[in-house]
Amino acid sequence: MAVGLNEPEKLLPVTGVRSAAIAAGIKSSGAPDLVLFEMAESSRCAAVFTQNIFCAAPVVVAKQHLSSNTPRYLLINSGNANAGTGQQGIDAALETCSLLAASTSCETNQVLPFSTGVIGENLDLSKFRKAIPELVSQLAEDAWIDAGRGIMTTDTLLKGRSKQIVIDGQQITLTGVSKGSGMIRPDMATMLAFIATDASISQQLLDQCLQTAVNRSFNAITVDGDTSTNDACVLIATGQATHNEITEAGEQFHLLQNAVNEICEFLAQAIIRDGEGASKFITLKVCHAASEQTARQVAYTIAHSPLVKTALFASDPNWGRILAAVGRSGVDMDIDKIRLYLDDVCIVKEGGRSADYTEEQGQKVMSQDEITIKVDLQQGDAAATIWTSDLSYEYVKINAEYRS
């Protein structure tokens, strides 16, 4: 059961983007597993990808195509990651692009392929040959919810968000979908996100906008510390709105940046709320650090501790596990200055248990579905926030039976 997350009843269409989703038989369940996004010719596209060295074949091909042409289509399959498949996987990813190009009269390198699912299995191209013509025929402006469902694997809920803002008196629409529940610690897990807006913006600023948004959202979450071979996040700007193109980092750009940040943060947090087997949503805040890097290092050490995560699942206020994680984070610190909090309850200060802390206070916080753990290092002015989940019996079951 996802923590504090509901499926969107509606996602707003973005002028210049059409999408479709069908069941091509890639998933044995018969659920939708092949998704297509079509972008208007005026569109610009920015993307960030996994930093896993064993990146999947579609990641390799998508990077190549993005660097050589302006994309017109995004082709996504779920149920098979096409990762760890060598040259055969590269050839298969290229072939899926060629099949779509033949059905749409675009260039092969105007197609960006994406895959998510089981690693190490070859794509069955016969399913793509049969399904792609039907997929193209179903393209529609209002199919975002279908597309969001089509990219899901172990997700229990559709993850999507829409927002509208005003630039130069013109209403601008943003809509995005994401998927991910496990193998989540992006470095741009198994994570995919696709966001579109009808705003008009230069390529340089679009790239900057996406990188900024990703750093504070998808690069600030973890379920299990595993960076997927297939991570990707794409931001499309169709330029269909009638305002003047955004070419400078002024007020209009910041309005758009804030909107993209909001969409990305919601989608990133939705991944944690729907983490595999998650029963709690945890916010980790590290403040007054010497640098953002050290703050993130402390936060991720806590988030990746199996002992902390299992205590969270058990609602056990075993604060010693958090203290131990902070101490082994590899960050220089004065332990007498450190303060640890569960929500607003101070549990550690002056090198040990806070004199005011009671077990009842800790138990009350740990019994909540949503908890904030704060670490005040009292070193400097830097800070970092990341989001994570607990570690439950269900997480083990899901991943033990993933290929069954």
18-35, pLDDT tens digit by residue? 999 999 999 999 999 999
Largest alpha-carbon pair distance within the chain?
Answer: 72
* Domains, the chain, ordered by start: 17-273 (3.60.70.12), 281-400 (3.10.20.340)
Phi, psi (rounded to 5 degrees) for 50: -55, 150
Rg from Cα positions in the chain: 22
Q: Which residue has the tokens 């596209």?
A: 45
Q: pLDDT-derived band of residue 187, with 50, 70 and 90 as boundaries?
A: low
Could you give the CA distance from residue 309 to residue 307 in angstroms, rounded to a whole number? 6
Bigger pLDDT: 224 vs 359: 359
What is residue 228's predicted lDDT score, i.e. its pLDDT? Answer: 65
- Residue 189: pLDDT over 70: no
Phi, psi (rounded to 5 degrees) for 366: -65, -20
Percent of the chain past pLDDT 90, that is, above it, reads: 86
Mean pLDDT score across all residues of the chain:
93
Q: pLDDT-derived band of residue 395, with 50, 70 and 90 as boundaries?
A: confident
- The amino acid at 11: L
Q: pLDDT-derived band of residue 374, with 50, 70 and 90 as boundaries?
A: very high
Distances (CA, A) of 403 to 28, 77, 120, 389, 397: 11, 17, 11, 23, 11
Average pLDDT over residues 292-304: 96
The pTM of this model reads 0.93
Tens digit of pLDDT for each residue in 245-282? Answer: 999 999 999 999 999 999 999 999 999 999 888 999 99
Phi, psi (rounded to 5 degrees) for 197: -145, 155
What is residue 188's predicted lDDT score, i.e. its pLDDT? Answer: 41
- Residue 55: pLDDT over 90: no
Average pLDDT over residues 293-316: 95
DSSP string of 307-335? HHHHHHHTT---HHHHHHHHHTS-----T
Residue 40: left (phi > 0), alpha (psi -120 to 50), or beta? beta
Could you give the CA distance from residue 43 to residue 39 in angstroms, rounded to a whole number? 6
Which region among 38-42, 59-63, 222-226, 330-334 has the lowest average model confidence (pLDDT)?
A: 222-226
Rounded to the nearest 10°, the torsion over CA 274, 277, 283, 284 is -130
Question: Which residues are designated catalytic?
Answer: 190
What is residue 191's predicted lDDT score, i.e. its pLDDT? Answer: 82
Token pair of 191, please?
């994570």
Distances (CA, A) of 318 to 97, 192, 279, 313, 365: 52, 35, 18, 11, 12
What is residue 341's predicted lDDT score, i.e. its pLDDT? Answer: 98
Give residues with Cβ within 8 angstroms of 105, minimum separation 6: none
Cβ atoms of 34 and 21 closer than 8 Å = yes
